[in-house]
Amino acid sequence: MQIYAALCQYLVSGLTNGAIYALIALGFGIIYNATTIINFAQGEMVMLGALSAISLYSLKPSFLFAFLGGVTLVTLVGLVFERLALRPVRDPSPITLIIITVGGAVFIKGVAMLLWGKEAYTLPPFSGDAPLHLGPATVLPQNLWVLGLTACLVIALEAFFRLTLAGKAMRACAYNPRAARLVGISTGRMVQLSFGLSAALGAAGGILIAPLTLGVYDMGTMLGLKGFCAAILGGLGSLLGGVLGGLVLGVAEALASGLISSGYRDAVAFCLLLLVLFLRPQGLLGGRE
Amino acid sequence: MTLSRFANRWLLFALAVVALGLAVANEYLFTLFNFIGINVILVVGLNLLLGYGGQISLGHAAFFGLGAYSSGILTATLGVNPWLALPTGLAVSGVTAFLIGVPALKLRGYYLAMATLGFGIIVYIILNEATGLTGGPSGLAGIPSLSLAGFPLNTARRLYWLIWPAVGLILALSANLVDSRTGRALRALHESEAAAQSLAVDTARLKLKIFVWSALYASLAGSLYAHALNFIAPSSFTFMFSIKLVTMVVLGGMASIWGSLLGAAVLTVLPELLAAFHDYEVVIFGAILMVIMIFLPRGLVRGLMDLVEFRRYKKEGGRLPV
């Protein structure tokens, strides 16, 4: 009975972290689909989201204001990053783009350290921290916020891609950029949109997780890398795959740290990543290239 | 390049090493020189892989760490002779690179970057967590200095006379490799893997070879580092250090052996020169990576030379050579 309760607890914390990984993985996927770039700065958008929401909340203690303000700010950062760091590139080979986005990630992290310092900041939970007892597991209201809002964001994103003109245009670019240009879609605009959109998703993830962890300048690197693991796990570029990859990764991590050793928790994601890359590089849901 | 000019370069390098070694009296400067030398070995190795072969490794600190910890554990904990520990470290790193490389090098571009990055982080976590073996986050102390024929190399000045000849040897070896059949095959691989294959280059074997080769360089640097510092901790083998190495390659110029010397020297000295640098270090490294890759993708020296040449051609109203 005890182990059952513990397992449920791991499941709850795993799914919560997994939801954040899923949001980050979606960000990777959206940019990859539009540009075939892997944006290594994606994790830093998560960190920027968390820290700017915390700062905004200390200005005006309203969650809605902090959330929307944080997401807007980070979306702007994403757009500026695309404009300044990626558009001027003359030789867009993968190596060049990897080095540039890694450089961007390090740069953004450094600027955040100068702005916010090295200390960790807290954001209060969205609606109190009285734990709820759901069956054998104890759930914090913030866990529910994370899961609920992530689900809403994923549905909204899916609706955007299926139902709106801009979303359909982005999908067209992902299938075949040249054909998309032929029918009058501005691919440059779509690339910009994809950077804004994934920055916004990353920021939302950061703000949601901030009350559960803490906001620190260097939180983004690990979250970003794990989000990427999730994206690869599910199959790069597949939205459903990204969500599934995130949740699987979160639960696997929680189980490993609970049942084996918490010190090796971070190694789980990367061992899974290596396994998937070596055995099935197209991911769980990806088709063959 | 004529043969005499080529020989002149090496003569100049040897003279500079000897002159510096005799002229400098300050022990701190020797420590700095030694760290530059160790970084040069790392950067040349990474440059062979990244600059010449066009294969990226974002986890090179792991091989550096494997070398350092092999030497450290074998000598400090088990009391093995350092000169036996060093080749053991090379074997450990080489075999690890081989095992990781066989599946990883089938991957291209982003996937390879992520595989090496994941590997680097796993090694870092193991260094931290396997406290019984590595001493964990607080590090491994009591690593003996190297000695040469009974003469202990226990000061930075003495070690200088081992490290810099070794650097010279590594540079010569790499320059030779680059100018060999393998080097030409590597550059072909960098330009286009398909084209290289069509010219009967066994690209899979070549990639693996250069990956293992650069891991061996890193391992050698790691062993030297462990014996130079007499103490190692996981914080020297982080993801950020892997990024710094890439920055040194990029700054010095991809596919440039001598550029590696420059990149490693500049980015090792800079933090020491500017006391305030420490806080801005991360920002500066990030900015260097982005600015150089966007505007001077051939590295600082060649990039600036290209710009000057471009100006001159423009002034003379001539056409650019294609």
pLDDT in tens, A144-162: 999 999 999 999 999 999 9
Strands (DSSP E) found in A9-136:
132-134
User: Quick one: CA torsion of B297, B298, B302, B308, rounded to 10 degrees?
Assistant: -40
Residue A261's pLDDT is: 78
Rounded Cα–Cα distance for residues A6 and A258 (Å): 8
Q: Is residue B270 pLDDT above 90, yes or no? A: no
According to the model, what pLDDT value does residue B183 have? 86
CB-CB: which of B56, B103, B240 is closest to A98?
A: B56
Q: In this structure, is residue A287 part of a structural domain?
A: no
Contact B122 A107 (CB under 8 A): no
Give me the pLDDT at residue B322, please: 45
- Residue A271 belongs to domain spanning: 2-279
What is the C-alpha to C-alpha distance for residues B162 and B33, in angstroms, rounded to an integer?
12
Residue B285: enclosing H or E segment and its boundaries?
helix B277-295
Contacts of B295 in chain A (CB under 8 A): 88
| Mean pLDDT confidence for A17-34 | 92
What is the pLDDT at residue B320? Answer: 54
Amino acid at position B27, single letter: E
pLDDT band at B213 (very low <50, low <70, confident <90, very high): very high
Helices A219-234 + A2-35 axis angle, to 10: 80
Q: For residue range B298-318, list pLDDT tens digits in order.
A: 777 777 777 787 777 777 765
Tokens representing residue B276 in the block? 């305030």
Instruction: Kindly report the average pLDDT of chain A as a whole number.
Output: 89
CATH architecture group of domain B12-280: Orthogonal Bundle (1.10)
Question: Which chain A residue is nearest to residue B248, measuring alpha carbons?
Answer: A99
User: How do the domains of chain B map onto residue ranges?
Assistant: 12-280
Q: Which of B319, B80, B66 is nearest to B215 (CA)?
A: B66
Min Cα separation A282/chain B (Å): 10
Is the model more confident about B297 or about A184?
A184
Per the DSSP assignment, residues forming a β-bridge with A134 are A137
pLDDT given for residue B95 in this prediction: 96
Given a cut of 70, whether residue A288 has pLDDT beyond it is no
How far does Cα B233 stand from its chain's mean position? 19
Tokens 């809002």 belong to which residue? Answer: A149
**Helix H or strand E segment including B232:** strand B231-232
Q: Taking Cα atoms as reference points, which of A222, A181, A51, A202 lies closest to residue A121?
A: A51
Look up residue A236 and give its two tokens.
């790069």
The Cα–Cα gap between B257 and B170 comes to 10
Among B56, B129, B279, select the one facing A114 at the smallest CB separation: B279
User: A278–B104: do the CB atoms touch at under 8 Å?
Assistant: yes
Report the pLDDT value the prediction gives residue B4, as an integer from 0 to 100.
Answer: 64
Strand segments (E) across chain A: 132-134, 137-139
pLDDT at A146: 92
**Contact predicate A259/A271, CB 8 Å:** no
CB contacts < 8 A, A to B, total: 126
- Report the domain count for chain A: 1
Mean pLDDT of B200-211: 86
Determine what percent of chain A falls in helix, strand and coil, rounding each to the nearest 5.
75, 5, 20
> How many whole angstroms separate alpha carbon A146 and alpha carbon B138?
36
What mean pLDDT is predicted for residues B191-214? 86
**Yes or no, beta carbons of A89 and B293 under 8 Å apart:** yes
Q: Give residue A289's pLDDT.
A: 43
Q: Is A100 on the interface with B (CB under 8 A)?
A: yes
User: Residue A92: which CATH number?
Assistant: 1.10.3470
pLDDT digits (tens, 9 = 90+) for B80-103: 999 999 999 999 999 999 998 888
Distances (CA, A) of A59 to A51, A112, A127, B166: 13, 18, 19, 58
Q: What does the longest C-alpha to C-alpha distance in chain B come to? A: 70
Beta strands in A41-185 (DSSP E): 132-134, 137-139
Give domain status of residue A143, yes or no: yes
Residue A58 predicted with pLDDT over 80: yes
What number of other Cβ atoms are within 10 A of residue A115's Cβ?
Answer: 12
On whether the CB atoms of residues B119 and A274 are closer than 8 A, the answer is: yes
Predicted confidence band of residue A20 (pLDDT cuts 50, 70, 90): very high
3-state secondary structure of B270: helix
Please measure the distance between the N-terminal and C-terminal CA atoms of chain A and give it in whole angstroms: 46
Window A:66-85, CB contacts with B under 8 Å: 85
- DSSP-assigned beta bridge partners for residue B152: B147
The conformational region for residue B255 under phi > 0 = left, psi -120 to 50 = alpha, else beta, is: left
Mutate to test the interface with B, among A221, A270, A278 (most CBs of B within 10 A): A270
Tell me the pLDDT band of B108, cut-offs 50, 70 and 90: confident
Distance CA B130, CA B118 (A): 18
pLDDT of residue B8: 79
Q: Average pLDDT for residues A177-196, to the nearest whole number?
A: 89
Note whether residue A284 is domain-resident.
no
| CB-nearest partner of A107 from B121, B126, B286 | B286
pLDDT surpasses 70 at B5 = no
pLDDT of res. B3: 58
H-helix or E-strand spanning residue B9: helix B3-23
Q: Which structure tokens are listed for A224?
A: 């970003």
Q: How confident is the model at residue A270 (pLDDT cuts 50, 70, 90)?
A: confident
Q: What is the pLDDT of residue A227?
A: 93
The mean per-residue pLDDT over the stretch B197-209 comes to: 85
Sorting pLDDT into bands at 50, 70 and 90, what band is B2?
low
R_g over Cα of chain A: 19
Q: What confidence score (pLDDT) does residue B293 get?
A: 87
User: How confident is the model at residue A287, as a pLDDT?
Assistant: 55
Report the C-alpha gap between A161 and A194 in whole angstroms.
Answer: 11
Chain B residue closest in CA terms to A81: B290
Give A41-72 as a DSSP string.
Answer: THHHHHHHHHHHHHHHHHHS--HHHHHHHHHH
Question: In sequence order, what are the residues at sequence separation of 6 or more whose Cβ sits closer than 8 angstroms to the Cβ of residue A86?
Answer: A37, A97, A100, A101, A195
Separation between Cα atoms, residue B319 and residue B110, nearest integer Å: 37
Residue that is written with structure tokens 């320059």 in the block: B175
Residue A94: the pLDDT is: 81
Q: Contact at 8 Å (CB) between A281 and A41? A: no
Measured distance between the N- and C-terminal CA atoms of chain B, rounded to whole angstroms:
20
Q: What is the pLDDT of residue A224?
A: 92
Q: Does A113 touch chain B (CB under 8 A)?
A: yes
The answer to whether the Cβ–Cβ distance between B283 and A114 falls below 8 Å is: yes
- Tens of pLDDT, residue by residue over B37-81, are 999 999 999 999 998 888 889 999 999 999 999 999 999 999 999
Contact criterion met (CB < 8 Å) for A106 and B240: yes
Residue A266, pLDDT above cutoff 60: yes
Angle at A118 between CA A113 and CA A121, to 5 degrees: 105
Residue A77 lies in a domain: yes
